A and B are shown apart, each in its own frame.
Chain A
Amino acid sequence: DAGVTQSPTHLIKTRGQQVTLRCSPKSGHDTVSWYQQALGQGPQFIFQYYEEEERQRGNFPDRFSGHQFPNYSSELNVNALLLGDSALYLCASSRGVGISYEQYFGPGTRLTVT
């Protein structure tokens, strides 16, 4: 049973560029959430997708956008990259939405902005 997968593993971009990160949820899961983890910090919630719609959004600017496809996979797009966007980006999936629902995380994409 494949877990949550993310691509690419590492990415180096220059300030002002745009980046797209990808996530495939665990088999049987239909909800995808994205988190940003700065070095030495806990993950911060970016947004959540369910039924191909953004259902909930954290305190992140509009430069951060996403998409969910009919097969439940998801993309995170970040425009006009800033140095402060350098972080580990984690994707998590769950079966449905609810406070007791377990979210399973992928290995993350390490983004470095120079």
Chain B
Amino acid sequence: GDSVTQMEGPVTLSEEAFLTINCTYTATGYPSLFWYVQYPGEGLQLLLKATKADDKGSNKGFEATYRKETTSFHLEKGSVQVSDSAVYFCALSSTNSGYALNFGKGTSLLVTP
């Protein structure tokens, strides 16, 4: 079945550092890929998405490129801020999953001043 694997956290970075959170997936067909962010005590917010190979999703300085050849969708940001501290979830949706979101376990990010 479909699955998503994320790098384990927590990830601790200094403000203005470069961020990469790795995400790889297993799915049949051509899934859509998403990154969601969860701030403490809150629900999930959609950060960005990509629906086909080589698509780049971007939002608030975050980017991720849908790489079908490596089945990856790594999240990147050039300069993180303290306010980016949160848990980040990679997810996929496919016809195999009936359009339900299949999430990774999440990666906790802590940015220090």
Contact = CB atoms under 8 A, between A and B. Distances in A.
The size bracket of the interface on B is 20 to 34
A7 to B, nearest CB: 13
Interface residues of A, number: 27
Interface in B44-90: 44-46, 49, 51, 89
Interface in A21-61: 33, 35, 40-45, 48, 55-56, 58
A42 B100 contact: no
B43 A48 contact: no
A43 B106 CA distance: 9
Contact of B100 (A4, A33, A100, A107): A33
Interface of A: 4, 33, 35, 40-45, 48, 55-56, 58, 90, 92, 97-108
B99 A42 contact: no
26 contacts: A33-B100, A35-B101, A40-B105, A41-B106, A42-B103, A42-B105, A43-B89, A45-B97, A45-B100, A55-B98, A56-B98, A56-B99, A90-B43, A92-B44, A92-B101, A99-B51, A99-B93, A99-B99, A100-B51, A100-B93, A104-B46, A105-B43, A106-B43, A107-B42, A108-B42, A108-B43
